[in-house]
Every structure is written in C-alpha cells, then in structure tokens.
Amino acid sequence: MRMVSTSAFRPAQLTSIAKTACRLSLAASLCGLMFAVGACTKTTTAGPSNGGSTSPATTKPTGGTTHTGGSTGAAGSAGSASSSSLGGSGGALVTGGATASAGSTAAGGSTSPGGATNAGGTQQAGGTTASAGNTGGTTASAGNAGGTTASGGSVGGSGGATGTGGSTTSTTVPLLPPPNPCSNQFTSQGCRKGQASSTCGGICANDYGGTAANVCQGGSNGVPVNYACPQFMLYSDALNQAVIADGFGDKLNYAVVGHDMDGGSGGVDSGLPDACCQCYQLVFDYPKENQVWVDPDHTPGTSAINIPKPLVVQSFNTATNGPDDFDIYMGAGGFGANNGCYVSGGTCPGGPCMYSGYPTQDGGMVKAVGNTFQNPWPDPCKTSDTNWVTQATLTSPACANAVTTACNQITSPNASIQTQTIRSCVQSNGVKADDTGQIPGDYHVNWYIWVKRVECPANLTNVTGCKLASQGLPKPDPNVATVAQAKAAGFLQESGSGSNFNTTQMQDCCMATCSWSNNVKGTTVNGYNSFYSCDKDGVPWTTAVTRTQ
C-alpha cells in the first residue's frame, strides 16, 4: 500500500501536457518507487547469423553480447543483482494514470477546459479558476495507479466565458518531484527497522540498512521492490512527448542507454568521474551485422536498410558491454543476465515480475534482423535465396506480421505499460509505419555509430529524473544526421581504446545503476540526483510519496 503526501506537491510544478501526435497521457497518481542494486556478468555464446558470419562467444557484464559480423546482437542489459554500486538495468517511467476528462460546457455556451493531465502520478489540481469564477476542472485523484480516469471539469461560470483552468496546451513534460532518498540510496543510516519515527518510516531491511529492493535481486525482505520505469523505453509516450517539447520534432528520437565509461585518453567520457546521467548524440553509420549490408560477403559499409534517425540518449546503466557500446533500452530488447520482466509463474528473484506475459524466444528478444523467426523456414524478414535482409524484406507484410504477432505476446495488468511496450517492440524493429506515417529505421540492429557528448535536454531529464549541472557542452544538433555531418561536427567514431562505437539493445526491467544516487558522481541540481525507479505499475518513487511496506 502506498500513500501520497499531498503537502509535498507544489502547484508550480504541475503543468499540463501538450496534445501532440503522440497523445501523451501521464499517470494520475504517484505511488512508490523501490530500489535495489547490483551487477552481474553474463556469457552469451553467439550462433551463426543467417546470411552472415559466425560471431564468437562474448563475455560481458550483464547485458547480451555485442555480436560481430552477421550475428544477432543480444540484448545488452546491465546486471542488477548484488548490493554493490553496480545496479541492474533501467526502465521506464510509465504514463500510468489516464488523462483527466475535459470540462463541461459553461453557462454561456463555451467549454471550460477540464483538469490538466496528471503528470506521472502526481496529484494534479484539476484546473485553475475559470474566468467566470468556477474551477475549470475537478481535482484528479492522486492515488490511482495505472489508468484510472480522473473526473471531468466542472460547469464553468456564468456569462459564457471560456474557463481558463485545466489547460492542456503545455509545451513541456511535467516535472515530477525529485527521486525519493529512501529509494535511491544503498543504506539509510537513520532508519531503525519497525520504528515509524525513524528515517524512512522505519521501513528498512535491518537497522541502518537498505530501504529498497531490486526485482532482479533476492534477499531483501520487508522493503518495497523496485523496477525499471517503462517510460524509459524507446518510443514510450513520455520520450515521444519530450523530444517534441524540446523542439526537435521528427529530427531525433530520445532513449536511455547502458554505457560503460570511456574515460581513456581521447575517450568521449575523458575527464569524467563516471558516465551516469551523461547525455550523448548518436549518428548511425552502417550495421555491424553483415547480413544487413548491401553485399554481405564482401566490403562492409553500405546498409541495405534505412538508416535510423539520430538518437539523443542519457546513460542510466553501467556494467554493460564496454566503453565502446551504447545499449538501447526498448521493448523486448532482450533480458541479458538479469530478468525482472517475466518468468513462468510470475515471480522474479526480488518479487513479482513486471509483465504477465512476454515473448519467450531468444531470451525475451523480438528482433527482425536476427534469428527470432528462422524457424520454421523460411525467415519472413529475409530473402529466401540468400537469407539476407533488405528494406523490402524488412517491411514486407510477412515480416511486419511476424514481428507484430511476437510483440503482442507482451501482456501486463497495466494497460498503459502493455500498450507502450508493444509499440516500442514493433517500432524499434522498423517493420512498418509509425504514428506519423513514416517507416522508422531499425534500432534493433547493432549499428556502428558516431558519438558526441552533449548537454542533456530539459524534457529528457524531466522524464528520467537525473539532472546534471551544466557542463558547458554543446546542445544536441538535429541538423547533424549523416556521417559526413558528424565528422564535420567533431563526433567520435572510436572509443579511447580504439574500438568503433556501436549499439546493442536490451530490456530486463531491473533497477538501473544510475537509479542509485551513490553511483552518480557528477554534480546534480535541486535534488534530481539519480534516475527514477518505479513500482510494478510504472509509477515513480519521488519525494512526494510516503512509502509504506
């Protein structure tokens, strides 16, 4: 059970959501976020990739292998097992609650806009006072987790003027309160177990001990269980809204990634204490998997499929695939070494799994360019003669249907989590048109990329919860979209070790390394000192939430 402390809400923080093409609905309630920490090492033996070369076995910390040649890139999730500084993979702040309905017609005939959309579960005042004197919308319920519709706006004042309360024309993603310190620290020195008057209400595993657990870690009893926030998934409602709110329109996409610090001489992270909460712009070059080259048997460098839009990403996880890798968090990206998403029976190591149903092939991965659909033969996403991938095979009805059918195996008691995860799963594979009518590039391919560290956009960090102080870095540039433009703009092709930067993918639903403030070494502002973590319904633990066991 969780209770929201209404005194913690500040009306100035409650803004309404833009009605964009993304149709973002943010959660109507704030419930608890719960944390735990850890990292593991996983060994994945990569099999031969159909149409490409055989990739060797790769041992890496938590998160699938980075495959060479034509092999399928396994999800590169980060571990989240031990109570050490290395957390599990991150997740998404789901837009749990439904949008408050619009206000009813004012006496004079015009409509008073109703209560503003609740932001990620905060208690949203239904609307400010209408110009005729009545409140533009009723107060949305703060305690509803994951989908309860708030009541509509009340009748506007007499005189026919349009009420001014509850506007839904905000151009920003609402800023939630900072992460809860009882959920983002390894231990709480003031907590005495069972003593409500002590720090964190006495909710700790033992005196002065941990006050949160990770769904991917067992052994922490009597404290809330934390999950990755579904809002962090590529193509989530919140990230789709954030990229528009930051003025990048259809030029870029936002994501969060696992990334180990590239701090060597000349590295993209050179001089930093750690990589947590740093932001990067990624420009895609050509696929690392040779089955997606125009000529897979010979010279690399030319992609046979559309190049994805650049990504602006924030680092939320470590212990992934090394300093040259950026491990993109997406629906059905693959479990890696840890799994808080789904197991048969529904109980993951630290508590109930996030999903009630999930694709079972390829370790929780749905990947059009891979081995997901090779049985029965032929693979619907590849050519029947050479088993290669082209844009035509990738976007064929047969491939799109196979990917969609596999992604539709994802189920959750929370309708918003289910819808957003399925969307992320399908669109990340680039098999059919998105909500704008465009066919996106396939992010679920391991790509070689060009990288530049940038200042984190405001609305991206509104979604993630981790806000670094300004570092004097350039802002993301939506006009840098090609390799030639990236070269001219000073992007790096290689890490400090001399290896080419590349991408992998994952989703394991575990709490991320950078959701622990202990792991964030950079200077943060206003208490936003880590990524959020969420409860099973995708609602973030913030300072506005009173935790109960």
Contacts of 350 (CB under 8 A, 6+ apart): 36, 213, 214, 215, 216, 217, 218, 220, 225, 340
What's this model's pTM, rounded to 2 decimal places? 0.73
How many Å apart are CA 129 and CA 493, to the nearest integer? Answer: 54
Q: What is the pLDDT of residue 151?
A: 38
Which residue, among 502, 48, 69, has the nearest Cα to 298 in the 3D structure? 69
Q: What is the pLDDT of residue 475?
A: 98
Print pLDDT tens along the chain (549 aa).
344 333 333 333 333 333 333 333 333 333 333 333 333 333 333 333 333 333 333 333 333 333 333 333 333 443 343 333 333 333 334 333 333 333 333 333 333 333 333 333 333 333 333 333 333 333 333 333 333 333 333 333 333 333 333 333 346 889 999 999 999 999 988 999 999 999 999 999 888 888 998 999 877 788 999 999 999 999 999 999 999 999 998 899 999 999 999 988 889 999 999 999 999 999 999 999 889 999 888 777 799 999 999 999 999 998 888 899 999 999 999 998 899 999 999 999 999 999 999 998 788 899 999 877 876 778 999 998 888 999 999 999 999 999 999 999 999 999 999 999 999 999 999 998 877 788 889 999 999 999 999 999 999 999 999 999 999 999 999 999 999 999 999 999 999 989 999 999 999 999 999 999 999 999 999 999 999 999 999 999 999 987 776
CB 187 within 8 A of CB 205: no
Residue 526 CB neighbour total at 10 angstroms: 10
Which residue, among 68, 61, 58, 55, has the nearest Cα to 39 in the 3D structure? 61
Q: What is the pLDDT of residue 428?
A: 96
Q: What is the pLDDT of residue 125?
A: 36
CB 18 within 8 A of CB 65: no
How many Å apart are CA 145 and CA 120, to the nearest integer? Answer: 10
Burial of 12 (0-12, 13-18, 19+ CB in 10 A): exposed
How many Å apart are CA 540 and CA 179, to the nearest integer? Answer: 8
Q: Is the peptide bond before 440 cis (omega within 30 degrees of 0)?
A: no
Q: What is the pLDDT of residue 324?
A: 95
CB 77 within 8 A of CB 335: yes
